Amino acid sequence: MMASSYSAKEEDGHHPGASGAGGAAANGRKPDNTAFKQQRLPAWQPILTAGTVLPAFFAIGLIFIPIGIGLYVTSNNIKEFEIDYTGTDTSSPCFSCYQNFSWNSTLPCKCSLPFSLDQPFESNVFMYYGLSNFYQNHRRYVKSRDDSHLNGNLYSLTHPSKECEPYAHRDNVPVAPCGAIANSMFNDTMELFFVHPNETRSQIPLKRKGIAWWTDKHVKFRNPGGNGDNLTAAFQGTTYPVNWHKPVYELDADPENNGFINEDFIVWMRTAALPTFRKLYRIIEKKSSMTPTLPSGNYTLEVTYNYPVHSFDGRKRMILSTISWMGGKNPFLGIAYITVGSVCFFLGVVLLLIHHKYGNRSSSPDIAS
Amino acid sequence: MKWTNPLALFRRKERESEDTVRTVVSNLLYEHLKKKEQPNRQYKGNAVKTTKYTPWSFLIVNLWEQFHRVANIYFLGIVILNFIPVMNAFHPGVAIIPLCVILALTAIKDAWEDIRRFQTDRKLNNLPCLIYSRKTKSFEEKHWKDLHVGDFVKVLSNEVIPADILLLHTSDPNGVCHIETANLDGETNLKQRKVVPGFFNPNSPFEPRHFRGAVVCEKPNSDLNHFKGYIEKDDQNKTGFGVESLLLRGSTARNTDESAGIVVYAGHETKSMLNNSGPRYKRSKLERMMNSDVILCVLLLFGLCLVGAIGHSIWLETFQSIPQYFIPDNNGQYTSSILAGFYMFFTMIILLQVLIPISLYVSIELVKMGQVFFITQDIDLYDEKQDTRIQCRSFNITEDLGQIQYVFSDKTGTLTENKMVFRRCSVRGTEFSHAENAVRLAVLSETESEEEFILFQQQHKASPLFPDDQTESRRQSTRANVSRSRVTVTKPSDRAFSSPLETDVAPDQKLQQVLRGASLAEDESGYYLDFFLALAICNTVVVSKAPAHRRKAEERPSNSKKQMTNDLPDVFSGEDMTNICTDQGVVTPNPGQTQKTQLGCLVHYESQSPDEAALVHAAKAYGFTLAERTPDQVAVRLPSGQMLSFQVLDILAFDAKRKRMSVLVRHPHSREIVMYTKGADSAIMDLLEQPLLEKQVKCNTQQQLDQYARDGLRTLCFAKRILSQKEYEDWSKKRQEAISAIDQREQLLMDTTVFLETKFTLLGATGIEDRLQENVPETIQALREAGIQVWVLTGDKPETAVNIAYSCKLLDHRDLLFTLNAHNKAMCNSTLNNHLEEVKRYGPPERSEEIGLVIDGRTLGLVMDEDLRSKFVELCKHCRSVLCCRVTPLQKSEVVKLVRDKLGVMTLSIGDGANDVNMIRAADVGVGISGQEGMQAVMASDFAISRFKHLSKLLLVHGHWCYNRLSNMIVYFFYKNLAYVNLLFCYQFFCGFSGTAMIDHWIMIFFNLFFTSAPPIMFGIMDKTLSAETLLCMPVLYKSGQHSEGYKRRTFWIAMLDAFYQSLVCFFIPYWTYQGSDIDIFTFGTPINTASFFTITLHLAIEIQSWTVVHWVIMLGSVLVYFIMTLVFSALCVSCNPPANPYWIMQQQMNDPVFYLVCILTVAVALLPRYIVHALRGTNAESLHLWARKVDRLAPPERQQWIREWKSLWHPSVSGQTGRPTPPLSSDPISLEPDSPFSDRRL
């Protein structure tokens, strides 16, 4: 309100105390008799009673249960195979690699794990590597990256963001890609062999492109100076992260999948939400409609064991999975839908009883409405 | 607050402390001097500046003020924490944003207000005024701001006075000047101001150059009615003056062509500016409760942070060696787990800061603004006659209106009209009942009584004439018991009866005969003449001859004329304004008078108290017309047409201590000095001269006075005393000394006054009726049903007060009435004990509704004593209504404070006059009635209404709404913040308590700022649990607010538990869905955020009780805004806010069916419990509130029937029921008259 006790306007006979907060019109302070201002707008006044909520519960039940069944069946149709190759167990083929690990060893440690698939995998098979107890979501770890650097910004390439510290410079040379996420990139390699019944092995072709989001590959991540051929020159004046064995421009021979736009790198840079996660590694494409992508039988997984996990008690896994419209295998959603649907249906019945027992007794005016 | 240089302040203080008075000399003598050497230089100029800021100091000063709020400091602390690298949870720049938005919003609001003030200031400062200039030797037109103390100013008629001016000259031949102080105190009557004695020279024009004296007066103070000082001339002669010579800034000159004077106070030192205390800030009960819950939230926050910190330490300890995802500092060192835990505590505070709702305070302010808007827009609270809406002067206690438990009301002007009507009189012990007048008034009020039944007749409002039979029959019934109900009958608000009809008095036949036969010579009948002369003279009524220029006066007659011909064709056929005037002409036959035209119709009495006006009108009806009043003489026209001019020697004004006033006049014929006195009977009866004969008169009169009081009339006694010339001269000398004294002047004046006022001869007594305002009994009954205790605090006699209490249904004739009337403490104590005993026998406090208590001022003073207080309060708790009579303004506020503090209840004071100001200020909510007695009560109030009946809608409807809305909104805010924060907290268990947020920080800010802010604000402003009609018909519903049912500790904890449950659901359903998959942080956060958004929004949707189109627009709008903003943000932000990067995540998720499935499931599970609880409560609930909601949905006629049935069950004899009528009974409409006061003890 205005502090001044009077104003010139009031001289002409206005009642001085009557200056309503609404700022009245010149003559007549009568408020407008409109539905809005008089708070008489037509309104819907729902009252929740057993009677009125009944249909909602039955509807939820009737909708949720089929959805849940659909989800459950879909999830069950997904074939998934998982093999742990950490090598903590002495019997494991990778035990020696697990034992003798150091970041600096130049000799790759290889181990091969035999496994067999009981059922054929029909459609495209997605090959994942899985890590557990790896906190990619640690606050400071998540921040340790420089997006404009990864987006091919030439200035950022040589001047990595402060967020990347202490992985921004190595011996005063800027690191590309900088930061802890890049530095800790997963570097095991895996190859898959089908062991024919006659003991011969044939390597299964693994597609290494198409595993990252399209927008990541084409918008978010760019090589400095465009995706030209001469990546070596583009990354001139930078060095590779301390845990890496080779510079970023040697990640792949294919220039479309090299440097910052290397899809393995992009996938790794998309930090996992939970400490136990999987990341897409390769895709095994279905070749023909006649034969299954992975027929049942014996396989061998050849692992180049580079990535240490014993410091954090982690596990490493290789996962083969087919995919449906709802993603990977997860029965939870289906079960949850069925449960919630059933509970709602049951509550609906209970409410129906309550409604019959009490709903009419109160003789409330709602029967008249 | 003004932003003045502290140094200047110090200097001025030093100088002024040297003397206790202010000396002002004419500036004209020093005009040639430089500014620094002028004698008046240290006084402030007339330019006013009410702004807080200047353009360049705005930022700093405003920020400085804003950071006085604890909340802002808290958030500033969090922002600062964010700049410490080891602790920051977000990008530091982003963390500033919420605080900046809040500060900016507040700053914009402050700046806007300040600009408004600046504009008003500028307008005022540039108003023109006439200032005397030595150079041109004439008054020149300049601006207000050019005026200084010591300047000479001329004011023309109808001009606003620019500063406080000592009046030295007027064009009026009598040396007076009239001012209207409506702008200052709302009093619209004219006030006379006199030229300083000795300066008045009607024949010569004013010559400021000849003014040589020095004006010595008080320091500036805010008292509008007191001012004293003297002018010291060169020859050391002192001339005293008082407030009657001061023209106040802001008042308007009337009826005087020009007046001039010297400026004594200017600008901020004027009395009107010193009276400007600005808006008041109160904190409502709800907010006080809320603040304690905010503290609970702080504790909760600390708890969560502690869990985070300890969790982080423990998590770090689980690693034997250092994993590659740990990041060393720049030296390659890793912080120890203990230190990391310590840092984590602060990181967590930053992360979870939203738990303390920064937006809550801003939202509450917005909501209250909206609520105030709707209250002021209410057409039912608009008064047509005065053209006033309700004013909300305090913006921040709207919800207190919904929690009132005790109402303290003034009587006169609050419950009653304060339009006094002369009813009866007694002269020398002979009573004249004025039966004709009573009949006339009864007829008058009968025709007005039609609109009593507003509650059920809303739809009829459009046709004001009620041509149907129904009305006719009702009129019949009203007529039948007219004699009983005439006090209570009402007056419709939309037809204005102007004062002429009401103030006119039909003379009593007997009295008129007595008068006709009387002549001045005869002894006994001389008393009759004296009596009427006293009525006419002994007052301060001003006769205003040309009121036509004043708009109000102009409007009234035309208005009433039109109304009358419309509404009263049968009763007053042909009686319009001119007829009334000729009626008067018959009573006052004076064909020879030259002044007739002037005095006929247009004579207008302006009085400060309505009683005086009523008396003057009564005298006029008997032919004793007050014709003119100047400071020195008063002219009365006698029935014979003869004009008597009395010389006025002195007026001893009314004060509350003496309770009387006197006028000293010299009789024109006999040259006798006569003193006429009027006052309360107690103030006069003891001072009578008592010859034996007088004793009988006194006895009779006292009896009649008591009878008047029992009839609810206000009584006044009239007496006279004849002084000898000698007596007068002695006294006059003393008086003069007292007037010119500066020290203890009031005491000296009082002594001289009391010295003179004794040895009276009793003339007679009058009974004046103060009619009840319309709908007062109904309003009081409604408040009563709502569980509000109504107390009446009045200065009137106990008998009058009790009668008014009966007629406004505050007391019932079946009630047990206790009276506390004691002369000393011991007696008082024993009476209290007795009453307490009796009351306790009667039953527990809840059951004893039929007990009333009457206490008078003297006893109240005793009871206020420390050791009796608690007993008194205990007794009051048992009483349904308490009447305090003969209380002083200070006692009124003491009573309010006592009840407020001792019982810990919410109090409301309502009053209309200056004597109610203390009480209004003392209560939690002060309501002023803008009525006859000026604006002081309104100025002190939080809400100002124009009629008492508006109180019921203000409390029962708006109070109920505001309280429910705001409490629901606050609960919702706490819920919302916890629900959201707990999501982040849950995630900490899966990221090693490292303070990661799975939601982008910008989205989090948007979430609070845009996505979920509008719905609760709209909810707080517009949600409507019940319709106004239902709330008015069922006042019992108000009790939920009194018991703080909308917002209790329990409500708070239930909301918090629900929030906890919902956030667990919102986190864990997505968690289990995406567990072990290749999902990344923000992709995981998006369904959580979305599900949480829908849960929070739909939670509100469950709570919303009535959906209007605005609700739909805002709710759907919020959903749209959520999707649009998130989509746009994640499409545009490729690397705008490193290192967080939400690019394309929303789009990706919206292509995934699982996203929708997760969201639907989560929302369904999260809201299931609340939904079921609401449904179960709705099905089998016993609460009246729910029943009312069901009734509310019905069509009006059906609804009324249900409510009537409910009321019929709701009778005091029934107990222990919920009061719901079971089957719809056959339509046998129960009387609409609320004559069966149903008890309210069960809710």
**Facing B325 at nearest CB: one of A8, A161, A184:** A184
Per-domain boundaries in chain A:
57-78+332-356, 80-322
What sign for the dihedral angle of Cα A99, A104, A105, A107? positive
Contacts of A220 in chain B (CB under 8 A): 1134-1135, 1141, 1143-1144
Q: Is the pLDDT of residue B1151 over 90?
A: yes
pLDDT (tens digit, 9 = 90+) per residue, B764-784? 888 888 788 888 989 998 998
| Strands in B566-671 per DSSP E | 604-606, 625-629, 633-637, 643-652, 660-666
Nearest-Cα distance to chain B for A324, in Å, is 11
**Facing A327 at nearest CB: one of B275, B321, B1077:** B1077
Q: Which of A47, A198, A55 is nearest to B1025 (CA)?
A: A47
DSSP string, B1178-1200: HHH---HHHHHHHHHTS-HHHHH
pLDDT (tens digit, 9 = 90+) per residue, B1027-1054? 998 899 889 899 988 888 888 889 999 9
Q: Are B625 and B599 in contact (CB under 8 A)?
A: yes
Q: Counting runs of H as helices and runs of E as strands, what totals does chain A give?
A: 10, 10
Instruction: Give the pLDDT confidence score for residue B1171 in this predicted structure.
Output: 93
Q: Is the pLDDT of residue B1146 over 90?
A: yes
Cβ-defined contact of A147 to B1077 (cutoff 8 Å): no
Q: Is the pLDDT of residue B1241 over 80?
A: no
| Strands in B483-549 per DSSP E | 542-544
Contacts of B1152 in chain A (CB under 8 A): 327
For residues A90 and B1111, the model is more confident at B1111
Nearest-Cα distance to chain B for A21, in Å, is 6
- Is residue B223 part of the annotated active site? The answer reads no
pLDDT (tens digit, 9 = 90+) per residue, A39-57? 988 989 888 888 889 999 9
Chain mean pLDDT for chain B: 79
Contacts of B1144 in chain A (CB under 8 A): 213, 215-216, 219-220
Q: B1152 to chain A: nearest residue by CA?
A: A326
pLDDT (tens digit, 9 = 90+) per residue, B30-79? 777 776 777 777 888 888 887 888 888 888 888 888 887 777 888 888 88
The residue-averaged pLDDT of B1010-1034 equals 91
Which residues, including other chains, have CB under 8 Å from residue B197's CB and lie 6 or more apart? B239, B240, B241
Choose, out of B159, B280, B325, the residue to mutate when testing the contact with A (most A CBs < 10 Å).
Answer: B325
CA distance B1235 to B1243: 21
**Facing A136 at nearest CB: one of B275, B325, B1076:** B325
Contacts of A82 in chain B (CB under 8 A): none
For residues B797 and A283, the model is more confident at A283
Nearest-Cα distance to chain B for A112, in Å, is 25
Q: Is the pLDDT of residue B963 over 60?
A: yes
Amino acid sitting at position A2 = M
Q: Are B641 and B593 in contact (CB under 8 A)?
A: yes
Nearest-Cα distance to chain A for B356, in Å, is 23
CA distance B1020 to B367: 6
Per-residue pLDDT band at B276 (split at 50, 70, 90) = low
Cβ-defined contact of B382 to A30 (cutoff 8 Å): yes
Nearest-Cα distance to chain A for B1111, in Å, is 9
Which residues, including other chains, have CB under 8 Å from residue B186's CB and lie 6 or more apart? A15, A16, A17, B930, B934, B935, B936, B938
Cβ-defined contact of B1176 to A311 (cutoff 8 Å): no
Cβ-defined contact of B324 to A271 (cutoff 8 Å): no
The residue-averaged pLDDT of B870-892 equals 85
Contacts of A46 in chain B (CB under 8 A): 1107
pLDDT (tens digit, 9 = 90+) per residue, B99-131? 888 888 888 888 888 888 888 888 888 988 888
**A187 Cβ under 8 Å from any chain B Cβ:** no
Q: A183 to chain B: nearest residue by CA?
A: B324
Instruction: Give the pLDDT confidence score for residue B734 in this predicted structure.
Output: 87
Contacts of A271 in chain B (CB under 8 A): 1080-1081
- Run of H or E including A278: strand A277-284
Token output for B576: 């319009």
Residues 15-34 of A with CB under 8 A from B: 15-22, 24, 28-33
Contacts of B250 in chain A (CB under 8 A): 5-6
Q: Are B132 and B28 in contact (CB under 8 A)?
A: yes
| Range in A352-356, B238-242, B280-284, B334-338 the model is least confident about | B280-284
Instruction: Give the pLDDT confidence score for residue B278 in this predicted structure.
Output: 54
**A78 Cβ under 8 Å from any chain B Cβ:** no
| Range in A250-259, B839-848, B943-952 the model is least confident about | B839-848
Contacts of B1189 in chain A (CB under 8 A): 45, 47
Which residues, including other chains, have CB under 8 Å from residue A47's CB and lie 6 or more apart? A366, B1178, B1186, B1189, B1190, B1193
**A52 Cβ under 8 Å from any chain B Cβ:** yes
CA distance B797 to B716: 11
Per-residue pLDDT band at B1114 (split at 50, 70, 90) = very high
Q: B1166 to chain A: nearest residue by CA?
A: A340
Contacts of B1194 in chain A (CB under 8 A): 365, 368-369
Instruction: Give the pLDDT confidence score for residue B185 in this predicted structure.
Output: 61
In angstroms, the first-to-last Cα distance of chain A is 46
Q: B1155 to chain A: nearest residue by CA?
A: A326
Per-residue pLDDT band at B183 (split at 50, 70, 90) = low
DSSP class of residue B711?
T
Cβ-defined contact of A165 to B1220 (cutoff 8 Å): no
Token output for B55: 């353009």
Residues 102-121 of A with CB under 8 A from B: none
Token output for B113: 């207000």
Q: Is the pLDDT of residue B8 over 50?
A: no
Residue pairs spanning A and B at CB distance below 8 A: 364
Q: Which of B185, B369, B395 is nearest to B942 (CA)?
A: B395
Residues 336-355 of A with CB under 8 A from B: 336-337, 340, 343-344, 347, 351, 354-355
Which residues, including other chains, have CB under 8 Å from residue B357's CB and lie 6 or more apart? B294, B297, B973, B974, B977
Cβ-defined contact of B1164 to A60 (cutoff 8 Å): yes
Nearest-Cα distance to chain B for A200, in Å, is 34
The residue-averaged pLDDT of A339-360 equals 88
Cβ-defined contact of A180 to B322 (cutoff 8 Å): no
Neighbours of A13 (CB within 10 A): 16
Choose, out of A15, A52, A74, the residue to mutate when testing the contact with B (most B CBs < 10 Å).
Answer: A15
Cβ-defined contact of B324 to A366 (cutoff 8 Å): no
In a 3-state reduction of DSSP, which class is residue B644? strand
Amino acid sitting at position B311 = G
Tokens 């916890």 belong to B978
**A220 Cβ under 8 Å from any chain B Cβ:** yes
Q: Is the pLDDT of residue A124 over 70?
A: yes
Nearest-Cα distance to chain A for B127, in Å, is 8
CA distance A308 to A105: 12
pLDDT (tens digit, 9 = 90+) per residue, A12-24? 333 333 333 333 3
pLDDT (tens digit, 9 = 90+) per residue, A286-331? 888 788 889 999 999 999 988 888 888 899 999 999 998 888 889 9
Instruction: Give the pLDDT confidence score for residue B723 in this predicted structure.
Output: 87
Instruction: Give the pLDDT confidence score for residue B1228 in this predicted structure.
Output: 34
Token output for B1183: 């609460």
**A1 Cβ under 8 Å from any chain B Cβ:** yes
In a 3-state reduction of DSSP, which class is residue A189? strand
Instruction: Give the pLDDT confidence score for residue B445 in this predicted structure.
Output: 58
Choose, out of A14, A34, A36, A49, the residue to mutate when testing the contact with B (most B CBs < 10 Å).
Answer: A49
Q: Looking at B410, B611, B650, B856, which residue is catalytic?
A: B410
Cβ-defined contact of B1138 to A163 (cutoff 8 Å): yes
**Facing A39 at nearest CB: one of B124, B332, B374:** B374
Per-residue pLDDT band at B524 (split at 50, 70, 90) = low
Contacts of B1157 in chain A (CB under 8 A): 67, 71, 326, 333, 337
Contacts of B1171 in chain A (CB under 8 A): 48, 53, 56
Cβ-defined contact of B373 to A22 (cutoff 8 Å): yes
Token output for B10: 């110090």
Amino acid sitting at position B1136 = C
| Strands in B415-517 per DSSP E | 416-427, 430-432
Q: Which of B355, B353, B368 is nearest to B287 (CA)?
A: B368
Q: Is the pLDDT of residue B450 over 70?
A: no
**Facing A137 at nearest CB: one of B186, B991, B1073:** B991
Per-residue pLDDT band at B509 (split at 50, 70, 90) = confident
Q: A137 to chain B: nearest residue by CA?
A: B991
Token output for B774: 């319309």
